[in-house]
Structure 1
Amino acid sequence: MADLLGVAVLGAGHMGADHVRRLDRVVSGARVAAVADPDAERARDSVAGIDGVPVHTDVEAALDAPGVDAVLIASPGPAHEEALLAAFARGLPVLCEKPMTPDSAGALRVMAAEARLGRRLVQIGFMRRYDAEYEDLKALLDSGRLGRPLMLHCTHRNVSSPPGFTSEMLINSSVSHEIDAARWLLGQELTAVTVLRPAPSSGAPSGLLDPQFVLFETAGGALVDVEVFVNCGFGYQVRCEAVCERGSARIGEERAMTVTAGGGARAEVPQDYLVRFADAYDREVQSWVDAVRRGTVTGPSAWDGYAAAAVAEAGVLSLETGARTRVDLAPRPDLYA
């Protein structure tokens, strides 16, 4: 066990428990060294069947547990900044689920703390960069075969929203994935955002502005539109079509099983992001573990986490005002050049 990367998992909810399972059963070269969650019973449940994993209700106790070499943060967004700074203080590399922080001010503080270390310690969990279809689309766009990208058309649908989900969270939680994917696919920063609000669906909880239509402008003159609909009722769907000067490419078509019976055919639709992006999560965590074992940190950086937070803030302001809103990014530190 000594040659395995010991990972402390912070947060034992839906995402954190899945990462515990992944580290224990799927990823090679790593083991779960500690788990922390304010709910001790939930933390214990997440490691049921895994011998010798201490559970804690305190983050710092988990970080200081014997054998901890790295940290995976899967706690709610408001807890991320404190956990990141605590990991930095111990020199521990981190895979942090999105959002890096709930706001751009916190993201700037995290970037400044990492820059003072003079080296990258954190990778942000934008897992779509590890999805095979997104990787293929990125390679195609980078090749230039279709000419300059002009537009991205994106769809992001969930079966239903969890309790407490707000209209703002459609932007800063759901669409944050499209924000990062668009920046990465196009290699351009997003410079302005406009959020349009159709009449809410009858399936949305009272007061929730769902669906929304989000339009991003980029530094290179491309446009990105996102339909986000978190109470569609039928399944989890993520699609993206790139329209370029000499052609287009589309990803996210259904790949699930089709059942034929009783005189008809029914295509199954994934009900959860952990199903649709299971392979992407596996590849993301494996890539992170491999890099850390080599002594490096790769993948989406704190700058990417900051940019996503800043664009999302502009999007929330546009949601509130109905106006086109500029995105003003701070200067990019040399560490992330």
Structure 2
Amino acid sequence: GLEDYVVVFDDEHNITIDNFNVLEKESINYYFTGLDSFNYEGDDVYKLEYINTYETRFNNGTFFIKFNKESKDKIEVGMYFNNNLDYYDLHADVGLTFSELVSAIGKHVWLQETGLTEWFIRIDDNRFSHGLIGTSYWFFAPITKMKYLGKNLYEITIDYPANEEGINPANDAYTTTHYLIYDPVHERIRFIDHDDNFHWYYPDKGATIAEFFESASDCIFSGSENMNYTFYTKNGKYYIYLKNKQYNFSNTFEVKSIKYKEYNQYEFTVLNGNDTETWYITYNFRSGHEMIISKPNLYDYAVRING
């Protein structure tokens, strides 16, 4: 993943541990150059022992390298931190081709990690679209060039057409180069847009009922209609507890099922006494800060106030 270490093997036996952050000007490097011993441990595992000059960071200079029998582009590296041997899955720093990158991103619509109706990204027939959910505020144009810069970072060139006056001022045709990170391990992308925002985007897949309640439980969502909403599980069942702050009455509803629609919108099947109701809830389970609740006789916007 992008928050893990980069391990570089060079000059026959040197190891460099790069604790990097993509697009940052500086990274922290640890160099291991004094190889004391090299041994084969069996089962495709090799043990390398170096002189440790970073005693405040590493317990020792011992590394275990395990090769992947099924892929030459994957290895496991074991390092000692806090007296524990931790293994990291590492992938070769090999970028995708133009068609591979377009195909990978084009499999999904991608939604911004935060917010309910923020930005989305999609690619259709090599046309890159970046816009606000539920609006006509889009930027879309063909990708004409792509360059891999290393460490999952790509430079993509997009030719935007001329536009008449609209949501944006009229503009002539222009070409812009954007930075884009594609992280295939965690299936996410990061994109620098026209306003120099640099957000994470995830596939528009939605949460399961268990994931939804894990994200929304153990807190209170305070609505604008004098309502508080609490999501919780009990004995393997899922419930929503509503309390009116003004009139001090409350009710509990059992959630029988949820169905993900798109763009952070869910359809809830809810038991109200002996009757079944359909609720619609817009919620970003990755950030979990706010939601829109639409149920019979109520439409409300609520924000998390604790938890």
TM-score category (smaller protein) = under 0.3
Larger relative contact order (Cα-Cα within 8 Å, sequence gap ≥ 6): 1
Q: Please identify which structure carries the higher helix content.
A: 1
User: Could you tell me the TM-score, scaled by structure 2's length?
Assistant: 0.21
User: When the two structures are superposed, what TM-score results if normalisation uses the length of structure 1?
Assistant: 0.20
Between structure 1 and structure 2, the one with the greater Rg is: 2
